[in-house]
Amino acid sequence: MQPTYTAEAEAYREKVQAFLAEKLPSNWQGIGALEGEELETFVTEWRKVLYEAKYLAPGWPTAFGGAGLSATEQVILAEEFAKAGVPTGGPNDAFSIQMLGNTILMWGTDEQKAHYIPRILSGEDVWCQGYSEPDAGSDLGNVGLKAELDGDEWVLNGQKIWTSAGHLADHIFTLARTDPDSPKHKGISFLLVPMEQPGIEVRPIKMISGDSEFNEVFYTDARVPKGNVIGGVNNGWAVAMSLLGFERGEAAATAPIRFQAEVERLTAMAQERGLTDDPIIRQKLAWCHSKVQIMRFLGMRVLTQFLAGHHPGPDAAIGKLFWSEYHKIVTELAVDIMGADALHIEGRTPPSSFSTDDPGAANTSGSWVNTFLNARAGTIYAGSSQIQRNIIGEMILGLPKEPKPA
């Protein structure tokens, strides 16, 4: 199956290709070919280019700083960016634009949109996500961080954990319990919390890779203006689920392009090492190729629904479960192909702990081993594989709910 586009859509594709040809260096090999200061400089400057072109949030209305693109145009833009190996934004934009920005446009008041949306697009506000807690990970409804109203402010006390890039952020969107007497999903609110205040403490968590991308965040009498609730007091669960839909579902149509490039890079490494005649390696490479094609078809299904106006919902769990479980196995194969070389880390390491390494990255142990380590986290963040299976079974297939402990 191959998707087909209208002549008007293909004309827009040519416009995007011309934009990339104009803005990228003539010898561009993909962002994976850059590292260190050169990488940081490019990402910073590239975000400015996208901001000026209104390509940071291309589907948003022009009144909110977007390009007002149609669904088809947004998909074409994402496809061409993925093929060119360039990011669609800066390192914080998955949190600020994809998750929070879309959520504010869906649930926020006019005043909240007017204040936060321009600051999100400009990069003035840097966001992180305050969802998980030590006793509320997979069971997010068990959130215990307290928010009590004191005049015109909420006072927050409690803890969040596994806060990605929390040490770099100055704001955190936070799930807090605002009514302890309500059933656990009913008494939660979604608050926008400034982090640059005495009541917020961030403590880095060292990961197996040696990096500290995750953090603990402690709230001790932290204060938030009363109006910083999105979607209404005690309605935070519905808002949170909308945000998770954006987090899990938006990249389903374009992520397979990155996974395809990754498996091609893996096959090239097997060829370089003379292992493509090994029947076991050949079989495993063929398995990886078949799984990427399945992801591609799943992506087309999501794309079809998206073009029909369907917003991400419980069905986003299907793609998230599939790619995260797949990625553990493909990166294990990469380490097997490298053999003893995987024990010595050298070369550029992935700049992020999410999904594949950047397009154009070299076949070094630094790239593959760190991607292998990061892949373990992929089955946990954004909802563990066990939770994704529950969502699929209960909310899509209509199966009975998982039995609760006595």
Catalytic residues: 247
Exposure of 95 by Cβ count < 10 A (0-12 exposed, 13-18 middle, 19+ buried)? Answer: buried
Please work out, in degrees rounded to the nearest 5, the angle formed at the alpha carbon of residue 57 by the alpha carbons of 53 and 63.
Answer: 80
CA distance 163 to 130: 6
CA distance 348 to 357: 10
> Phi, psi (5° rounding) for residue 173?
-85, 125
Partners of 149 in the β-ladder: 154
CA distance 192 to 229: 7
CA distance 388 to 380: 10
Residues 181 and 127 sit within 8 Å (Cβ to Cβ) = no
**Rounded to the nearest 10 degrees, how much is the dihedral formed by the CA atoms of 352, 353, 354, 358?**
40
Partners of 290 in the β-ladder: none
Residues 117 and 65 sit within 8 Å (Cβ to Cβ) = yes
> Phi, psi (5° rounding) for residue 7?
-60, -35
Query: Which residue in 348, 342, 347, 346 sits closest to 373, CA to CA?
Result: 342
Terminus-to-terminus CA distance in the chain, angstroms? 49
CA distance 263 to 306: 26
Which parts of 215-315 fold into alpha helices (H)? 236-249, 255-272, 279-307
Please work out, in degrees rounded to the nearest 5, the angle formed at the alpha carbon of residue 238 by the alpha carbons of 233 and 241.
Answer: 135
DSSP 66: S
